[in-house]
Amino acid sequence: MPWRVLEPLRRSPALAVGLAMVAAWLVTAAAAPWLAPSGPTVSDYGALSQAPSAAHWFGTDEYGRDVLSRVLFGGRYVLLIAPAATLIGLVLGAAIGMSAAYFGRWVDEVIMRLLDAVMAFPIVILALLALTMLGGSTGNVVLVIGLVFAPLIARTARAAALVEVRREYVQAARIRREGPLYVLAVEVLPNIRGPLVVEGTIRLGYAVFTSATLGFLGLGVQPPAPDWGLMVAENRALLTSAPWTVLFPAGAIAFVVVGFSLMADGLRDLEGR
Amino acid sequence: MTRFVLRRLLLLGVTLLVASVLIFLMTSVMPGNVGRIVLGPFASDASVAELNRQLGLDQPAALRYLQWLGGVLTGDWGRSLTLDTDVLPLALARLGRSLLLAGYALVLLVPVAIAAGVAAGRRPGGWFDRLASVVGLTFGAMPEFVTGVFLIVGLGVGLGWLPVQALPDEGAGLVTWLRHLLMPALSLVLLLFAYLFRMVRTGMRSELAADYTRTAVLKGLPRRRVIRHHVLRNALLPTITVIGAQLGWLVGGLVVVETLFRYPGIGSLMEYAASNKDVPLLAGCALLITGVFGLANLAADVVYAWLNPRVRHALAGA
């Protein structure tokens, strides 16, 4: 019986590799206080801008902070931001998309036109505008990423729900005089779970992508926090003299986003069969 | 066709109007106090109130929006708070440089992605298909600045092939420009490659499996001719729409890539406006970028309709 759970992994190596990469990140981020040789903001003034060595595996930055420790602790921001933002986007997007499909007619028309207008902005531009005015903090980053993702998820939810609301079981529930909230939450939602899970996994990866980008633009958590994107931005000038200060956080971002991307790809393949 | 273009233009106008309301709401109404955001937490209440008065923020929001919109339509986009200049001329000058970079990236991207997609779609599951899929998936998932960092360290610092600075010296020739812009453009290309490649590959596969393809093969046409005259024309059509949709990522990517490579385009100007809380400049850049993005999408739709005989004939009848 427990083998059944592993069956999808055997059928899709991409899913297995992606899952392993994401799991590796989860474990190291969670265990950062025990794994890291020092605190993320502890300076060793005897070792400024040191190249990677036995004492500092990833080297040190210009303030003598251990890059390995900063990268390990930096994983925790993403660990918090990406799932929370995706959850906000999923809840909001599913609610909007399913309502559009259920009520149809002018409600659908108005909702879709509004979503089109929001999506007329490139995501980064929208997030940049909102965060400049709200101010950069972990909470605001989560909120803004969730909000800009909602229209995209709403589209997926609407497309999936449009098929379901015409089915007999929904008609039956309507004839039983169930309210829209009940029909959508209890009858429709479980049946569009598949596309929503795939969409959610894709969005998780993009949430990591977007939060790293916002960090790089200085709009996320503020220094001296060891956010990966922020570390790349801060040490950009050291690319030629101390490349390890930039390469390791950049590599960490690459590792996590590729892990999510492989996972989403694998899930999409399984879903497609 | 004319009616189709007019209708799309009208729709673009509506979208931009809604977008302008959104930009206005976000930059002047949402969190209340623009003067406080611009001047920071340590400024006195009196100077905050004075700046708000200078910006006209003591008036009702609806009136301010109409005034702002009127200014935008007549070419008065306000003045930058931190740079001693008007917003519109500055933003337009920077936009030109960004379009150069974006155009360069597209010129590199489109032929490469299409060729790779066609080659992979002809032999799905072959070694080239797998390689291109993995490379595309990897770089497509990475933020542009991460790819850019890898390129700088690899091609710039490590091998010394390409200059790290994106903007060449004054009066540099075309080749120098292209060399300097190659790494920023490549960061964008690698980001966008996967999606376009995948669409072309899928198009190739489904057209190769279509009945008309089988008929063409069965009546004895050589494979090259079948692909060139029958399959490609149908497989490549949807990619035009895909390229249009990709422009949003390209524009967002410009903000990041221009910031990383210190290239003075509209993207880095917007980053500057954001980090210096220059609200009028920020609003102007956002509006200009949204407008250009909308126009590019419109152009993609029109080209698609023009090239697709089914749509073209349907429209000609209307």
The predicted structure's pLDDT at residue B253: 85
Q: Considering Cα of B31, then B34, then B40, then B46, what sign does the dihedral take?
A: negative
pLDDT at A1 over 70: no
Using 50, 70 and 90 to split pLDDT, how confident is the model at B74?
confident
3-state secondary structure of A31: coil
Q: Which candidate, B264, B278, B288, places its Cα nearest to that of B79?
A: B278
CB A211 within 8 A of CB A226: no
CB B303 within 8 A of CB B240: yes
Task: Report how far residue B43's alpha carbon sits from residue B277's, in angstroms, rounded to the nearest whole number.
Answer: 14
Among A124, A149, A240, A248, the residue to mutate for chain B (most B Cβ within 10 A): A124
Using 50, 70 and 90 to split pLDDT, how confident is the model at A149?
very high
CB A81 within 8 A of CB A227: no
Residues 6+ apart with CB under 8 A from B192: B105, B109, B113, B140, B246, B249, B250, B253
The predicted structure's pLDDT at residue A272: 63
pLDDT at A252 over 90: yes
For B43-66, the pLDDT digits (tens) are 777 777 777 777 666 677 788 888
3-state secondary structure of A2: helix
Mean pLDDT score of chain B: 82
Does A176 map to a domain? yes
B286 lies within 8 A of chain A by CB: yes
The predicted structure's pLDDT at residue A96: 92
Q: Give the residue, B159 or A203, on which the prediction is more confident.
A: A203
B140 lies within 8 A of chain A by CB: yes
Are the Cβ atoms of A240 and B157 closer than 8 angstroms?
A: yes
Number of helices and strands in chain A (H, E): 12, 0
Mean pLDDT score of chain A: 85
Asked whether the ipTM of the predicted complex exceeds the cut of 0.85, the reply is no
Domain of A80: which CATH number?
1.10.3720.10
Does A208 map to a domain? yes
Using 50, 70 and 90 to split pLDDT, how confident is the model at B251?
confident
Q: What is the mean pLDDT of residues A84-89?
A: 95
3-state secondary structure of A35: helix
CA distance A82 to chain B (A): 15
Which chain A residue lies closest to B15 (C-alpha atoms)?
A117
Give the total number of structural domains in chain A: 1
Does A113 map to a domain? yes
Q: What is the mean pLDDT of residues B55-79?
A: 79
* Residue B175 phi, psi dihedral angles, 5° rounding: -60, -40
For B218-248, the pLDDT digits (tens) are 888 887 888 877 788 777 777 877 787 777 7
**Peptide bond just before B309 cis, omega within 30 deg:** no
Are the Cβ atoms of A240 and B150 closer than 8 angstroms?
A: no
Task: Report how far residue A142's alpha carbon sits from residue A124's, in angstroms, rounded to the nearest whole number.
Answer: 14
* Residue B249 phi, psi dihedral angles, 5° rounding: -65, -35
The length of chain B in residues reads 318
The predicted structure's pLDDT at residue B295: 85
3-state secondary structure of A60: strand
**Tokens coding A170:** 């929904």
Does A101 map to a domain? yes
For A196-242, the pLDDT digits (tens) are 888 888 888 889 999 999 999 988 888 888 889 999 998 888 888 88
* Contacts with A124 from chain B: Cβ below 8 Å: 252-253, 255-256
The predicted structure's pLDDT at residue B105: 92
Residues of A with CB under 8 A from a CB of B: 113-114, 116-118, 120-125, 128-135, 205, 209, 212-213, 216-219, 229, 232-233, 236, 239-240, 243, 246-247, 250, 253-254, 257-258, 260-262, 265
Using 50, 70 and 90 to split pLDDT, how confident is the model at B184?
very high
Task: Report how far residue A261's alpha carbon sits from residue B271's, in angstroms, rounded to the nearest whole number.
Answer: 27
- A-B interface: how many C-beta pairs under 8 angstroms? 139
Q: Which candidate, A176, A151, A174, A152, places its Cα nearest to that of A102?
A: A174
Are the Cβ atoms of B290 and A243 closer than 8 angstroms?
A: no
Does A46 map to a domain? no
pLDDT at B167 over 70: yes
* Contacts with B16 from chain A: Cβ below 8 Å: 120
**Residue-range definition of the domain harbouring residue A25:** 11-35+56-271
Per-residue DSSP letters for B92-157? HHHHHHHHHHHHHHHHHHHHHHHHHHHHHHHSTTSHHHHHHHHHHHHHHHS-HHHHHHHHIIIIII
Does A168 map to a domain? yes
For A260-273, the pLDDT digits (tens) are 888 888 887 777 65
Does A5 map to a domain? no
Q: Read off the DSSP letter of residue A50.
A: P
Q: What percent of chain B has pLDDT over 90?
A: 8
**Tokens coding A254:** 């690459």
B252 lies within 8 A of chain A by CB: yes
The predicted structure's pLDDT at residue B155: 85
The predicted structure's pLDDT at residue A3: 58
Does A4 map to a domain? no
Residues 6+ apart with CB under 8 A from B276: B81, B82
Task: Report how far residue B204's alpha carbon sits from residue B112's, in angstroms, rounded to the nearest whole number.
Answer: 15
Are the Cβ atoms of B270 and A128 closer than 8 angstroms?
A: yes
Query: What structural domains and CATH numbers belong to chain B?
Result: 2-73 (no CATH), 94-317 (1.10.3720.10)
Which chain B residue lies closest to A210 (C-alpha atoms)?
B143
